[in-house]
Amino acid sequence: MTNKPLIEPQKKQSHLTVDSSSYKSQSKHSFQTVYTYIQTRIQRGDWQAHAKLPSVRQLAEDTGMHRLTIFKAYQHLKEDGHVYARDKSGYYVQPPALQVLTNEAELGLPLFQGNLGELHRIEATYQFSKALITPNLLPNHYFAEYVKQVFDLYPKLLGTYATAQGDLELREMLQRYFTDTAQFHVHADEILITTGAQQAISLIAEVWIRPGDHVLIETPAYASALDVFEQKGAKLVPITIDANGYDLVQIKEAMKKYKPRFFYLNPTFHNPTGVCISAEQRKQLVDLAAQYECLLIEDDTCHDIYFDQKPPLPLFAYDTEGYTIYIRSFSKYVSPGLRMACIVARPEWFTPLLAAKSLADGGTPLLNQKVFLLYFTSSRLQQHIEKLRIALRIRLEIMEEELSSTGWYYETPQGGFNLWVRLPDHLSVPELLARCLKQSISFVPGSLFDRNDTSQQYIRLCFSFASEHEIRQGIQQLVSIAKEMEST
Ligand SMILES: Cc1ncc(COP(=O)(O)O)c(C=O)c1O
């Protein structure tokens, strides 16, 4: 598509209404006219990154053009990286960080336009974008044995539905596990088995978010949570997270001002920054939540993946007033394929969640729950986690060693899978990504975790998927690409 505007720039408008007169008067009523009109307004800043654009129907009515013409314009804008689409929700402005990457002709580089899921689908030899543990470090070879054992123990298993809440035996095991390891006392009735933490997040959004509701969320934040909440129409209120943890004054002000539906947080080896919130801040947070009657949604996916010291107890353990809903996933370090996670919530929050789960899928597959139960209660689990911690720490050390010549800023995480690295201002992250993808190296640009442009200079490098050798080679190449960019 040409970038030449067909419509002269108009006076800046601060709202999302469409001034159709300019293109009604165009004699050439083609999709190109609409394309240029929307592109011009985005470039002029009338519609900011992630702003929702007028619907196809609305634009068709305003302009008198056929809906297909408008649709075609949006399709081309999407292909050219100016807008992105969300299922059943419409079109949104693509943030600039990704637009730069779409300028293939200028950079002579492969395209990347899209979200985290799309980035993960790009094959790369040096895989630093997926926050996943390589299957080589997971206990896959034991699972055949456990599957057989499950069928020996429960021969009619596949002839039965799972209950929506989850297998009682598994919930009782988790109840004991939480008491022993996290020091919180729950009843098996307060545990809901979910298909991954991702489903837990979706259920919570389904139950509590209505369009226009405020939700507090860390900045940067786990990208898929941002997507889910936005899709539900939430207004996201950013809460800073950095090496010092949270700014509690900021949280207090936000709770007071916005009366949010909840604060979604990932306080233990936070994705993407790796930050682990201190016990002191956890206590203060649950006090604030009780004071302002704000739910805390604590997402805990990496609790057992620490390198030296155990992290502090989950917020849920400090919360005596019952304002915390706890999400715990076992996907990452037991088996991503089993999709095993749970929500722990006090009875007043539990009932609507159970109803939502029932409507969503009627229950997580029983076979997965039983296989997980057998493995999780075996002595092999502990051995596996101990070896895993060592393997991950070695990978992290190699990554840091290879980055040491750069002077780039990062804090060494005490657990988790990611290194959150700040690049110098003169290095363009989108360009670095484009150059890296061309050489089969992938990482995630910070902008995907942030709706406020505060993470533009950051990249997330995951050290749990690539092998030690691949980390060494891949990071060496990434650094040399960056140095080449700096020298030109
Ligand atoms: C913070 C956070 N929450 C939730 C998830 C999703 O976990 P699951 O694989 O259990 O759905 C992830 C996965 O990366 C994550 O990092």
Map out the domains of the chain as residue ranges.
1-94, 116-136+382-487, 140-378
Distance from residue 198's CA to the centre of ligand 1 (Å): 6
- Among residues 170, 185, 209, which one has the least CA distance to residue 295? 209
User: What is the arithmetic mean of pLDDT over 53-62?
Assistant: 90
3-class SS of residue 195: strand
3-class SS of residue 265: strand
Question: Chain-wide mean pLDDT for the chain?
Answer: 88
Cα 101 to Cα 84: distance, rounded to the nearest angstrom: 14
- For ligand 1, atom 4, name the residue with the nearest CA: 197
pLDDT category, 129, cuts 50, 70, 90?
A: very high
Cα 488 to Cα 481: distance, rounded to the nearest angstrom: 11
For residue 161, give the DSSP letter: P
Ligand 1 pocket check for 416: Cβ under 6 Å: no
Closest ligand 1 atom, residue 266 Cα: 1
Ligand 1 pocket check for 195: Cβ under 6 Å: no
Ligand 1 pocket check for 372: Cβ under 6 Å: no
User: What is the arithmetic mean of pLDDT over 58-69?
Assistant: 88
Distance from residue 202's CA to the centre of ligand 1 (Å): 12
- Among residues 167, 129, 134, 135, which one has the least CA distance to residue 150? 167
Contact 353, 342 (CB under 8 A): no
Closest ligand 1 atom, residue 330 Cα: 10
Is the sign of the CA dihedral 425, 429, 431, 437 positive or negative?
positive
Closest ligand 1 atom, residue 339 Cα: 10
Ligand 1 pocket check for 196: Cβ under 6 Å: yes
User: What is the arithmetic mean of pLDDT over 14-41?
Assistant: 61
Q: CATH 2.10.240.10: does it fit domain 1-94? A: no
Distance from residue 301's CA to the centre of ligand 1 (Å): 6
Distance from residue 339's CA to the centre of ligand 1 (Å): 10
pLDDT at 96: 58
Q: CATH 3.40.50.300: does it fit domain 116-136+382-487? A: no
Is the sign of the CA dihedral 185, 190, 195, 199 positive or negative?
negative
Ligand 1 pocket check for 341: Cβ under 6 Å: yes
| Least reliable range by pLDDT among 20-34, 113-127, 153-167, 194-208 | 20-34
Ligand 1 pocket check for 83: Cβ under 6 Å: no
Ligand 1 pocket check for 202: Cβ under 6 Å: no
Whether pLDDT at 145 is above 70: yes
pTM of the predicted protein model: 0.79
- Among residues 313, 312, 304, which one has the least CA distance to residue 333? 304
User: Each residue of 42-60: b (16+ CB within 10 Å) or e?
Assistant: beeebbebeeebbebebbb
For the purposes of burial, counting CB atoms within 10 Å of the CB of 14, is it exposed (0-12), middle (13-18) or buried (19 or more)? exposed
CATH number for domain 140-378, candidates 3.10.129.10, 3.30.2130.10, 3.40.50.720, 3.40.640.10: 3.40.640.10
Distance from residue 438's CA to the centre of ligand 1 (Å): 28
Whether pLDDT at 22 is above 60: no
| Least reliable range by pLDDT among 25-39, 121-135, 145-159, 189-203 | 25-39
From residue 111, alpha-carbon distances to 103, 122, 132, 445, 453 in Å are: 8, 11, 24, 14, 21
Contact 28, 73 (CB under 8 A): no
| Least reliable range by pLDDT among 72-76, 109-113, 353-357 | 109-113
For residue 157, give the DSSP letter: G
pLDDT at 50: 75
Ligand 1 pocket check for 312: Cβ under 6 Å: no
pLDDT at 30: 74
Domains 1-94 and 140-378 share a fold: no
Cα 27 to Cα 80: distance, rounded to the nearest angstrom: 25
Cα 414 to Cα 309: distance, rounded to the nearest angstrom: 8
